Amino acid sequence: MKLGERIRTPLVMLAAGLFLAFTASMRAQVQTTETTTHGEHTHSVSVERGEVVYVSGHEVIVKMDNGEIRDIANVPDSAKVTVDGNEIGIRDVKVGMKLQKTITTTTTPRMVTKVETVTGKVFQVMPPNSMILTLEDGTNQRFKIPADQKFNIDGQMVDAFHLKKGMNVSATRITETPETVVTQKAMLSGQMPPPPPPPPDAPVLIVYVPAAPAAAPAPAEAAEAAPAKLPKTASVVPLIGLAGALLLSLGLGLRGLRLTR
Residue closest to 17 by CA, chosen among 124, 160, 122: 160
Strand, helix or coil for residue 101: strand
- Containing H/E element for 247? helix 237-260
**Burial class for 118, CB neighbours closer than 10 Å (0-12, 13-18, 19+):** buried
* Higher-pLDDT residue of 55, 19: 55
| Bridge partners (DSSP) listed for residue 107 | 42, 182
Taking only the tens place, the pLDDT of each residue in 180-223 is 999 999 899 998 888 877 766 656 556 666 666 666 565 555 44
What predicted TM-score, i.e. pTM, was given to this entire model? 0.47
Q: What average pLDDT does the segment 93-108 reach? A: 94
For the chain, domain boundaries: 4-39+110-181, 43-109+185-191
Residue pLDDT, tens place only, 123-162: 998 988 888 888 888 888 888 877 777 776 667 777 888 8
Which residue did the predictor score with more confidence, 184 or 12? 184
In tens, the pLDDT along 153-163 reads: 667 777 888 88
Contact at 8 Å (CB) between 61 and 71? yes
Query: Which pLDDT score is estimated for 249?
Result: 72
Report the mean per-residue pLDDT for the chain: 76
* Range in 63-67, 94-98, 217-221, 235-239 the model is least confident about: 217-221
Fold adopted by 43-109+185-191 = OB fold (Dihydrolipoamide Acetyltransferase, E2P) (2.40.50)
The average pLDDT across 96-109 equals 94
**DSSP string of 165-216?**
TT-EEEEEEEEEEEEEEEEEEEEEEEEPPPPPPPPPSSPPP----PPPPPPP
Which residues 6+ apart lie within 8 Å of 12 measured at CB?
Answer: 167, 168
Q: So what's the pLDDT on residue 200? A: 66
Q: Is the pLDDT of residue 168 over 50?
A: yes
**pLDDT at residue 21 tops 50:** no
pLDDT of residue 8: 36
- pLDDT > 90 in the chain, percent: 31
Q: What is the H or E stretch that residue 257 is in?
A: helix 237-260
